[in-house]
Structure 1
Amino acid sequence: MADVSDDGGSVADQIDDSEETSPDELNAVARENVQRVERNRRRAERRADVADLAAISDDESLIGTPSRTTSSAPSTLETPSSVDSSPSLAMHPALQNFDIICAICLYVHDESLPALASTCRIFERPALDALWRNLQSVEPLVKCLPSDLFGTERGRMVLLKPLDTRTWGILYKYTSRVHSITQSDSLTVIELLSSLMLSCPSAPASLFPNLRQLTWHADGTHCAAEFLRMAFVPTLLSLDMQISSASSFFLSVLSSLGTLCPHLQVLIMPSATNGLLRKASPFVAQSISQLNCLKTLYVWDLGNQGNEHLMQLPALQVLVLDLQTSSAWKGRSRLQFPGFHNLNYLVLFIDNFNYALDFPRSLQVIDSKNIGIYFTAAHSFRSSYTALSQLFTILGEKCDHNNLISFSLFDSTGVSTNPDVFKPLHACHNLTQLLVERSWRISMADEELCQLVRGWPKLQVLDISRFVAVRATTIPTLHGLISLLQLCPALTSLTLVIDITKLDGIDFKSPGGGICNNHLEKLVLSNSPMKSPLNVALILSGLFPNLLKVDLDCWDPLVPKIPMSRVRSEKQLEQWKAVNLFLHSFHVVRERCTESMSSDS
């Protein structure tokens, strides 16, 4: 955000603070002035033809922009003698359209917008709108005020005198244009703005009447609460709030969110310390229960009453629930809740399997098109396998089998398991995406791969393994890949580590024996071992006739740091680059053959 002041001044000093002219009036004036300039230009050309005569000028004066100010002196309009009537200065027809002027202002650098706003009234409103629309801090609002309003007392900035009516008008002129505010860390300017509000002649909510989005990544102090009273307006649609502490006054204001912002659609409140969560949860739960327009919610585990409020939100489509703090709710009763209906996305963050299992177990139904689970703590193979089996069994019982189309697993520590844990999800026969993050280690042979996908004939995206320890993990072969293509003919994206060194029984002329996939757009084979890049390219071009290359973007950030492993990985990467070179060559030859056949016919 560009500074709006220079040497203690402000944009207000450059621009008349009178009531703004409407777009319709501006457009009408612009059109009429264009016509008059053109007529004056033609008259000038005629006078040039008879320059030896003392021609009498009949030029028309330009119309001044209508103003609602009450001034005793009439405004001075530019005369033709002070206006260059050459065609180059005639207003372009596009500038008669207010929407086009607004679009132009959006491409002007913030540093130049104040100058553009002071150029003429036609640009004043759209330039100021662009300048103040998105604030990365509320500091520019304080900077546009007279510098003698504030002083220093005991090392702190304080308000020395209240604002007069004219200054309030200037402030409102700018704050009414603000659509989004991002405030992080420093609260000094918030304290100054909050002290101003104590002398505000109108309701605090009128300061930002058009605010749509608020991002608050700072503490929840008393002054912060004062600011939220200004920012919680009926037009607010999105609130992203991350706090590490909160005063009781701040929490009281937070509890009024549902009443003050009835149209809120997005609420993001990631978890913090357990102490703060216990303190804040009742206030957050009350405000959420009133947000009937809420579509996206990211929040921690609010306990029985709070979670029940979540299930009753009529417009909720995306729910991200952080269960990492569920230990704060030890001993809560094993109640049965109706569950969630008509969700598009349900995402769960889990660090403790025991507490995490309580939540889905308490629901009667989980009706969501997409489910994602993040594991954030390390677990042993035995405990993770047992807990995962229980979790997937619960999900298989609770999920709407006809509605679930995507299931994702993410892990920041590494989980070892096998395909059997996914069996309960086979009942979800409409599943089109199965995404398993790279740190998962799933050991499976050809038959186990087939068993994994057999229940999902509509599968389009399969991301099941990448960069596994090949010598310590069982991986499928090309025969398993061919069977996969037969079971899932709709695949468009595949990420899988396979052993391409075993080519027994593979016919290079027809690798799939008539089985191929013409729809695949993305293929990631990571560190799949191979011997001959040429043979691999021949096989892949037969299985995927329209595939242009194997995706190698996943290699750069994942090359191992161990020297010997690095050498081996770099060698594998060079092999896959050779495969892509062959695939490109095959594609060129295929195109030439197609063109030749077309010309012959």
Structure 2
Amino acid sequence: MHQCLLIPETVQLICAHFRPTNKHLPTLDAANTSTLAALAQTCRYFANPALDALWVKQIALTPLLCCLPGDCFAIDLDEAGVSHGRWARPIFAGDWSRLDFYAARVRVLNLDESSDAAFSAAGANFFNQLAAGAPSGGLFPKLRVLYSRKYPHVASCLRMFLAPTLRTLRVYAKTEREHRLMMTHLSTLPSAAPQLTSLLVYTGEKFFPRPPHFDAAVSSILRRMHSLEKVTMGCPDIASLQHIGRLDSLRTLSVVDLPVEFQAVKKSKDAKFFPRLLELVIRRGDILTALAFLRLSTHAPYKRISITTAGVVSNPELERLFAAVASACRPTSLRTLVLHAAGSGGLARVGAPAIRPLLAFRNLAHVELLSSAGWALDGDAVRELACAWPLLRTLSLETSAMPGGAAPVLASLEHLAAHCPHLASLKTTVDATVAVPDVLPSAKRVRQTRLAALHVQNSDIADALAVARYLSRLFPALQDIKTHRDGKDNSVRDNPNQLTRDMMTQHWRWKDVERMLPHFAATRREESQYAMERL
């Protein structure tokens, strides 16, 4: 053996080469798995590093359960051909030795129901017996990350996944019984996982109301943890918010809502509230509590804010929200801003003065603003917006308003092309019924080569050919055009509603534009190549 292979770091680097380079990949591919298995069998110097790389990340319990003696469990097929695991005999203390040898190498466990079909469908009793026989110190003594989005019955055996080394925990329960079981195990979290920095508790709020005791139980856990960097939960209580608000470590807070009592909390002159918070997400909150939170956290160096309001939001309230964001955030720190006022239907459209406070954030790269009532912006407002946000990569001025209202003319997109060179995705309403110039003087020609996707919502359009020619000149990389009718039945003749038929007609005109864009792009490339050949 070469002497270089006697250096442990060299062997570890060789094995690390076969790990997935993309952190989002669930596990190793087949080729790398075979290579690492071969390395593990080559010699004793490669065995442990290769096994560590093989087992470091798992997406199922099946490989580990297969380390138990073969007579421990059996897999049966039901009448529908679905596999179900079951215990064939009790688990004895000596059965764990081989499993412990490999389980100690697991650092990331991302449980996926589809990758563990036989055991995920085994039922709660199967997992209860597994948890009862598991070692007292947990099944994975060096586990750092546990993801369990919708893996069934994890709540009943959560104890065996908790380890002192655990740093990230994401769990999910879809029934009240699972909620109670989960809380039984999570109540020991501060002592069982003292190094935990990221806690994500999903409660199925989209499918049914959260049990009233659940948020209170999670809040009581938060009050006993002191190293949290990321928290995702339903609705924390006042005491837990005040506790985590004093943590210098907290970087991300994602909640469904904030308690109504939070509106009465007064700002302290001495203590800073969420002094290091970088990301705030409120998924379905009351606008007044959102305003109160922003008022109290004016010292936070926000990089991302995402607020979706619940209920009807008036234009004055929306203007207050925009102003509160402008007051709470540092002008140079904010990179992503998502503000959705989804319940403002039937109100007047939001004008440029309401958006103007947000123009102070010169480093914004991603902006999503939603008003159901729509946006009353003209060409001058679009120019002002484009000049203020030169680093934009995605811009969405979303609305569900019907066509026919005031909208900036198609030519106003030239301001975005001229001042936002990095813009790659745009969602806005435009008036494409106004004629655009066919040819511009060379001094006024603008070409933006990054925009690839355009969502025009319910925009009106007259001449598809003229619009396609104009857009292909302005945005030569544009390929994808969508409307609000994408993914819906667009059979014009079969729909009795005149407004819907008009929207379908506009949709098909925009799809004509999309079909013509590649042809215009090819023609321009040929002309450019011909011009270069003649030089």
Place the TM-score, normalised by the shorter chain, in its bin: 0.7 to 0.9
Alignment correspondent of 1:189: 126
1 CA distance for matches of 2:110 and 2:391? Answer: 44
Measured in 2, the distance between the counterparts of 1:490 and 1:149 equals: 57
Q: Which residue of 2 aligns with 1:444?
A: 377
2:431 matches 1:431: no
**1:347-376 Cα distance to aligned partner (Å, 9 max, x none):** 11234223333322333334211211123x
Equivalence map 1:510-549=2 (5 Å): 510=440, 514-522=444-452, 523-544=454-475, 546-549=476-479
Residue by residue over 1:150-205, the C-alpha shift from the partner in whole angstroms, topping out at 9 and shown as x without a partner, is: 9xxxxxx999866243x2313323433444153879432232123214xx4xx524
C-alpha distance in 1, partners of 2:424/2:150?
Answer: 43
Looking at structure 1, the residues matched to 148 and 427 of structure 2 have their Cα atoms a distance apart, in angstroms, of 38
Pick aligned residue for 1:584 from 511, 514, 518: 518
Instruction: Give the alignment of 1:49-448 within 5 angstroms.
Output: 106-108=28-30, 130=54, 133-137=57-61, 141=65, 144-145=68-69, 147=71, 163-165=92-94, 167-178=95-106, 179-180=108-109, 182=111, 186-197=123-134, 200=135, 203-205=136-138, 207-216=139-148, 227-243=157-173, 244=176, 251=183, 253-271=185-203, 273=210, 275-291=212-228, 294=229, 296-323=230-257, 326-327=259-260, 329=261, 333-336=265-268, 338-375=272-309, 377-379=310-312, 383-410=313-340, 415=345, 417-419=349-351, 420-437=353-370, 441-448=374-381
For residues 185 and 224 of structure 2, the distance between their equivalents in structure 1, rounded to whole angstroms, comes to 10
- Superposed CA deviations along residues 240-290 of structure 1, whole A, max 9, x for unmatched, are 122345788964652443443344343211356252235314432134323
After superposition, the Cα gap between the structure-2 partners of 1:343 and 1:559, relative to the gap in structure 1 and judged at 3 Å, is: farther
Question: How far apart, in 1, do the equivalents of 2:129 and 2:179 lie?
Answer: 18
Q: Which amino acid in 2 is paired with 1:543?
A: L
Distance in 2 of aligned mates of 1:474 and 1:214: 50
Q: Within 2, Cα distance between the matches of 1:211 and 1:160?
A: 28
Whether the 8 Å CA contact 1:149–1:161 is kept in 2: the answer is: no
1:481 maps onto 2:413 in alignment: yes
Secondary structure of the structure 1 residue equivalent to 2:160 = helix
Asked if the contact 2:275–2:297 (Cα under 8 Å) also holds between the matched residues in 1, the reply is no
Query: In the alignment, residue 215 of structure 1 is paired with which amino acid?
Result: Y
Which has the greater radius of gyration?
Answer: 1
Residue among 403, 417, 420 paired with 1:470: 403
SS across alignment from 1:464: strand
Residue 400 of structure 1 and its aligned partner are, at CA, apart by 1.2
- Cα gap change, 1:363/1:303 in structure 2, threshold over 3 Å: closer, same or farther? farther
For 2:23, the equivalent position in structure 1 comes to: none
Give the AA of the match of 2:109: S
The offset of 1:457, in angstroms, is 4.7
Q: Is the 8 A contact 2:286 2:311 kept in 1?
A: no
- How many angstroms does 1:500 deviate by? 1.4
C-alpha displacement at 1:513, in angstroms? 7.2
With over 3 angstroms needed to count, the CA separation of the structure-2 counterparts of 1:581 and 1:253, relative to structure 1, is closer
**Number of matched residues?**
478
Q: How many angstroms apart in 2 are the aligned matches of 1:247 and 1:483?
A: 52
- When residues 348 and 251 of structure 1 are mapped into structure 2, their CA distance, relative to the original with a 3 A threshold, is same
| Deviation sequence 1:509-539 (CA, Å, 0-9, x none) | 1189705242442333344222222211232
Distance in 2 separating the partners of 1:594 and 1:190: 66
The 1-side partners of 2:62 and 2:248 are apart by 34
The equivalent position to 1:595 in structure 2, one of 507, 529, 534, is 529
CA contact (8 A) 1:142 1:193 kept: no
Which residue in 1 is equivalent to 2:481? Answer: 551
Deviation at 1:402, TM superposition (A): 2.0
Residue ranges of structure 2 left out of the alignment (5+ in a row): 7-13, 21-26, 75-85, 114-119
Cα distance in 2, alignment partners of residues 393 and 98 from structure 1: 53
**TM-fit CA distance, 1:463:** 1.4
Distance 1:362 1:345 in 2: 15
> Equivalents in 1 of 2:418, 2:17: separation in Å?
54
- In structure 2, relative to structure 1, the CA distance for the partners of 1:588 and 1:304 (3 Å cut) is same
| Pair 1:326–1:520, CA change in 2 (3 A) | same
- Cα distance in structure 1, aligned partners of 2:308 and 2:294: 14
Normalised by the length of structure 2, the TM-score is: 0.73
Using the alignment, how far apart are the partners of 1:248 and 1:549 within structure 2? 50
2: CA distance, partners of 1:137 / 1:549? 43
Percent identity for Structure 1 against Structure 2: 21
Cα 1:363/1:314, change in 2 over 3 Å: closer
SS at match of 2:143: coil
d(CA) in 2 for partners of 1:453, 1:100? 44
Question: What RMSD, in angstroms, separates the aligned Cα atoms of the two structures?
Answer: 4.5
Give, in whole Å, the separation in 2 of the partners of 1:257 and 1:514. 63
Displacement of 1:554: 6.7
Mapped to 2, the partners of 1:466 and 1:248 lie a distance apart of 40
Aligned AA (1:469): M
Q: Per-residue displacement from partner, 1:292-329 (whole Å, max 9, x unpaired)?
A: xx3x3312342333223333444443321221x524x4
